[in-house]
Structure 1
Amino acid sequence: MANAKSMRSVKSLSIRSIRSSGVEKAFREEKKGNGDIHSFDKILIMACKKFDCPYIVNVPKQVKPDYLKNFKQANIKLRSKRISVLSEHLPVPNESDIKIERKSSSRSSIKTEYISIEPLPIITVTMVYDNYNTLTEILITKMKDVPRSLLRIFHLLLPYYRNLVRITISKCEINMYTIYKLGKILETSTITEVCLDDSPVAGANYAMLLETTKLRYLSLCRCNIGVEACKSIAAKLHYAASAQNLLLLNLSSNRITDEGAKHISNALRNNRHLRYLNLADNHITDCGAGQILDILIEFPLTSDEIIIMRRRRLEYWKRRNDIYAKCLAQLCHKKVNDVSQLRKKSPRRKISSTSLKNKSSVRKEKDADDDYIKTKAEMLTTEVVGPFEDPFRSETIKHIDGHVYSIGNMTLSYLNLAYNNLSYLSVRKLQNVIKYQNNYKSSGGLIKVVIEGNKLPISCPELTNVDEMMARNSLKINRVEKQ
């Protein structure tokens, strides 16, 4: 009975109840300078107690090592050092304290209800801090069931921590509600990285995590992702889709076949943000790998892609012309008001022969003012609208024999196809891709490809050529960036 009562109180968790409690007051005091008293770990424990959550939260702290500092020290002392992660654990309540607390909370109903003396389950939520004592990551691992009430509390508390960028739930049993709530947390917080490694959900729609443009990193390693899940993820990676700004996608150790690779290659046709793609340890053959590699070189555009490209270009110029007209009208109106105020202040003068002679000079000044206004309106319009950004803009397409070709995806830098079912044919195609990208004038292209663990010959000079060409491509990109 008491257990059901606590569950009802957890379900009634809302923003209004948070504000009526002492949690928001703690945030206000933290902003005033009492951050040591009301840090996230203590606020989380206080919120779980306030809403009678049927578990105890253990919040250990972890500090990320400063790799650059340790590297410099190793160079000075001429010996390698092992970088250790410092951890600081909060004290876990004793079993006797738990019994006393449960007895005191249900003292009023001790005559009619049975009090269980079994200890509450302990949930560990690790807080990862950087060297400046700033919370940057939340880590939950090896948990049989992630409570819904804990996710609701996260949804309410995390927007207050503006330096938090990552949440990791690994080796846990999660469900569709966890995916749904994580999507809501991404919308309201500053989290841009999500890791769900070893946390599969049967029939899960992971595309719910890609409903926001904030997400930059998504890792779904060992999540039993098949063709349908891969298709829904790839649909969010297209140009102008919700997750087009994703930079890193890890889909290693799943059940992705050539059909799933085809969906990913279709997304790469117009995606110009994804830089890291990990498809290691899947079921991709030369056919699926070839579909991805064909997008990294020159490929023809379909009729639908040409129509959509032209439509986007027309919409851009229509919007630009509308904004230009508004800016020009505002500047002309401002000039008329300035001239009228100047005439009111200055006395009227009689028309003389000299003033008539100077009409031509006045007209020249007026023309110069008009040119200045038009130039300023053009600058304001460019500042508001910006240049025309499109995967198939004029700089990235070619017209050959009446057909329109794209120069290829030059954004993808890292591709991992290790431990699949590739053969020597994929190595040959990869060599052609790297050669094409190196010979192309613009910067970009692959700088790292991993294909170990496949059915490749022991002696393969093409692999050596690929490594050398990628090294040259990396130097070319670094030289362009420095310039």
Structure 2
Amino acid sequence: MLSGFKLLACLLFSGQTPTENLPAQDFDEYQCSGNVEIDFPGLCALLDMKNIPAVCTKQPASLTTETEEEDTDDNKSLIDDSSIWPKPCLHAELESEDPLSAKNLKISGWRVDEQIVRVLQKMLLSLSKLQSLHFWQAGLTDQMLISLLNTISLCSNLRAVTLEGNPLPERSYHLLLSEDSILTHLSLRNNRIGNEGARLIGSALSTTRSANKNLLSLNLAFNCIGDEGAAHIAKGLRFNCALLFLSLSNNQIGDSGAGHLAATLAEFALTHEEVVERRKLLLERTQDSSLRVSSDQSSVGQLPSVPSSTSLSASKGENKAKKKEASKKEEKPAANKENPKSNKKSPDIKVPQSKGGKQGSKEKLTAQEDKPTTALNEQVEAVEIVNPLLDRLVQYRDGELILPGNTTLSSLNLEGNKITEKSLPLFLTSLEMQGEEGGLLRLCLQRNLFSPDCELYVKIKELMALRDALNKNTSEQTEEEEQGAQC
């Protein structure tokens, strides 16, 4: 009776008459208006829910103050699970006074069930201005997360997801970082993510065949990631060219894991498996290019006698582009298309053929394998994103193929781990090698197992101070992360 009354009230409030819609309407037929205060209780009522959570909307004038107070309460409760929570409430922040302008949704400190997830799935698609979705200690399961993912991918403006205090038995967090994910900001604090979860996340960041291309910030603070997990994350950073901010603060990372992270920041040699994969990709690219050229030539030869103006102009444009590319390739050898700055360091391009033995044969093979890459760069890059293995200038040195390391990552937070003074030389060397070609602007190593007055640590801080454009925001972000819970 209560649920029917609430639905009736929602319909009247929205200007719909009960005789017109109520008898024939069910959950699947409900048309969401985009007003959270109407749609959420209305959908819950149609599922015959007994205790429907309230909806609390925040007007723009009060957003800043109320949000700060609420976040403070959340962070305190992360430490003290005995806090007394208010009744379940769906918090909606509005972009303007328009009730259809919800930009943030937050479920904080109350357990959702499959019915709530079903309601959210239907409602989210109507929120055209929704930018972020926040779950804190909401009791989500792996299956609930998977269900929500299907909807998140269809939300036109949703780019930020926070999933904190929600341990998932099957560690499905990595699905939020899939190659086709549209998310740019993801926070996974305080989820008891261990080494296996870190392995899955690392693979989602990048492999030799795929890489996440949209995620800009990833917060993995206050989890249970150790050296093994840090190594997996470092491996995922090898070919990731998108991530700018990474927090691994307050985990269990020691010198071994820190060493892997530091090594990824500097130039590194490809493993045997990566070299093999690179050669496969080069071969596939060559074959794909040949098929494309053959197809273009065939289509030109089969043009009708009186073609339409649109198709004729398109064909002419394609042929003209192909001829330009072909002439460029004849005028300039493939090797000369590499970055001039790297020519001196890159025997990979000009390899002496007089050296005998295995060394010479390896150099010759490497030079041959790189020619298709440089020769096809202009043609392929115009229509597709190059695999990370082929996207960078490769040097050949001492019998190995060398990549310049991850220079995309701008901020790395490793505070509150188990790193000792042994790892500091590795970080210092990597930072010095990055130079002015890009790389870290912020490296946080406070609260680890070495003295703040350590000579190497002082040098690292001095070096970072010269390039830290984010320095003014460092203390604020650190204080926010320190309020989370330990594993």
TM-score, L = length of structure 1: 0.67
Partner of residue 447, structure 2 = 453
Please point out which of 94, 103, 107 is paired with 1:129.
94
Per-residue CA shift, 1:238-279, capped at 9, x if unaligned? 144474532222111111110111111111122222221111
**Cα 1:66/1:471, change in 2 over 3 Å:** farther
Structure 2: how far apart are the matches of 1:128 and 1:389?
A: 39
Structure 2: how far apart are the matches of 1:54 and 1:332?
A: 70
Per-residue CA shift, 1:349-381, capped at 9, x if unaligned? xxxxxxxxxxxxxxxxxxxxx998632346899
Per-residue CA shift, 1:334-353, capped at 9, x if unaligned? 596469xxxxxxxxxxxxxx
- State the structure with bigger RCO (CA 8 A, min sep 6), 1 or 2: 2
> Would you say the 8 A contact 1:431–1:466 is kept in 2?
yes
Deviation of residue 283 (structure 1)?
0.9
Please point out which of 239, 242, 263 is paired with 1:294.
263
> Would you say the 8 A contact 2:452–2:458 is kept in 1?
no
Please point out which of 174, 182, 195 is paired with 1:207.
174
> Would you say the 8 A contact 2:392–2:403 is kept in 1?
no
1:423 maps to a residue whose letter is: T
Deviation of residue 394 (structure 1)?
6.8
Does residue 469 in structure 1 map to residue 463 in structure 2? yes
Structure 2: how far apart are the matches of 1:383 and 1:291?
A: 33
SS at match of 1:313: helix
Please point out which of 393, 397, 412 is paired with 1:396.
393
**Cα 1:276/1:394, change in 2 over 3 Å:** closer
Deviation of residue 395 (structure 1)?
4.0
Please point out which of 403, 408, 418 is paired with 1:406.
403
Q: Of the two, which has the highest radius of gyration?
A: 1
- Superposition pairs for residues 184-199 of structure 1, below 5 Å? 184-190=150-156, 191-199=158-166
> Would you say the 8 A contact 2:262–2:426 is kept in 1?
yes
2:406 maps to a residue whose letter is: N
Partner of residue 428, structure 1 = 425
**Cα 1:318/1:393, change in 2 over 3 Å:** same
- Superposition pairs for residues 58-457 of structure 1, below 5 Å? 58-63=54-59, 84-85=65-66, 123-131=88-96, 133=98, 134-143=101-110, 145-190=111-156, 191-211=158-178, 212-239=180-207, 240-241=209-210, 243-330=212-299, 337=306, 374-377=319-322, 382=379, 385-386=382-383, 389-393=386-390, 395-438=392-435, 442=437, 444-457=438-451
2:65 maps to a residue whose letter is: S
Q: Runs of 5+ in structure 1 lacking a partner?
A: 4-15, 28-37, 68-82, 88-120, 340-369, 476-483
1:196 maps to a residue whose letter is: L
2:443 maps to a residue whose letter is: V
State, as a whole percentage, how many aligned pairs show the same letter. 23
Deviation of residue 290 (structure 1)?
0.6
Deviation of residue 192 (structure 1)?
2.6
Deviation of residue 58 (structure 1)?
1.0
Deviation of residue 468 (structure 1)?
3.8
Q: Runs of 5+ in structure 2 lacking a partner?
A: 4-24, 69-85, 309-314, 326-377, 470-487
Structure 2: how far apart are the matches of 1:333 and 1:473?
A: 59
Aligned length: 369
Per-residue CA shift, 1:397-424, capped at 9, x if unaligned? 1101332111111111111110111122
Per-residue CA shift, 1:427-453, capped at 9, x if unaligned? 2222111111015xx3x2001111111
Please point out which of 41, 44, 47 is paired with 1:48.
44
Structure 2: how far apart are the matches of 1:64 and 1:427?
A: 46
> Would you say the 8 A contact 1:419–1:453 is kept in 2?
yes
Per-residue CA shift, 1:169-207, capped at 9, x if unaligned? 102333233322222222332333221112223454323
Structure 2: how far apart are the matches of 1:299 and 1:377?
A: 36
* Superposition RMSD in Å: 3.5
Deviation of residue 131 (structure 1)?
4.6
Deviation of residue 396 (structure 1)?
2.6
Structure 1: how far apart are the matches of 2:420 and 2:223?
A: 20
TM-score, L = length of structure 2: 0.67
> Would you say the 8 A contact 2:59–2:97 is kept in 1?
no
Per-residue CA shift, 1:143-184, capped at 9, x if unaligned? 0x2021111111122122232121111023332333222222
SS at match of 1:56: coil
SS at match of 1:272: coil
> Would you say the 8 A contact 1:286–1:421 is kept in 2?
yes
1:415 maps to a residue whose letter is: L
Deviation of residue 44 (structure 1)?
1.5
